[in-house]
Amino acid sequence: MIDLAFAAALAGIGAFLLWLFWVLLYKPAAVRKERQSPRLVKDNEGTVREKGVGVRSCPVCGEKLAPGMLVKSKLYSQKGVDRIMHVYGCPYCWPYNTEYRRICPVCEKVVPKEGYLIARYFENPQRRHVHVLGCSGCRMG
């Protein structure tokens, strides 16, 4: 049989190892030090998003876009300050489907099945800006 002193020593070593595991690896979130500048923060609605990046929405269907989601568009090169851009939509509404309505923000009609928004694209060192002029239905006639 195992000696009582030996069993007590094993229990003490086991308790120490559990404490060491808790301190070095497990530590509850309340005890851990938070980074000085966290990358992800909660906005007013409780949605977690990247710090410094606003909640974007698709100009065609109006759905909120998750971080990393892109809007399908085509930018035409042109001399001058502003350029023409065709905006097709986000992964929710392009390619065309019936679940998300594609609405033109100018004429407020449904954008044709293979249609797009026509916009002017402005770019300067501080920011980029897109101004929607209409859709392929109302702008092209």
From residue 122, give the alpha-carbon distance in Å to each of 8, 99, 108, 132: 75, 32, 24, 11
Q: Quick one: pLDDT band at residue 13, thresholds 50, 70, 90? A: very high
Query: Is 70 exceeded by the pLDDT of residue 34?
Result: no
From residue 85, give the alpha-carbon distance in Å to each of 5, 18, 103, 133: 81, 61, 17, 10
Domain ranges of the chain: 1-33, 35-141
Q: What is the pLDDT of residue 98?
A: 72
CA 72/CA 95 separation, integer angstroms: 10
Express each pLDDT in 79-102 by its tens digit: 766 788 899 888 888 877 777 888
In single-letter form, the type of residue at position 31 comes to V
Q: Which two tokens stand for residue 38?
A: 């966290």
Which residues in the chain belong to E strands, given as ranges? 40-42, 48-50, 72-75, 82-89, 117-123, 128-135
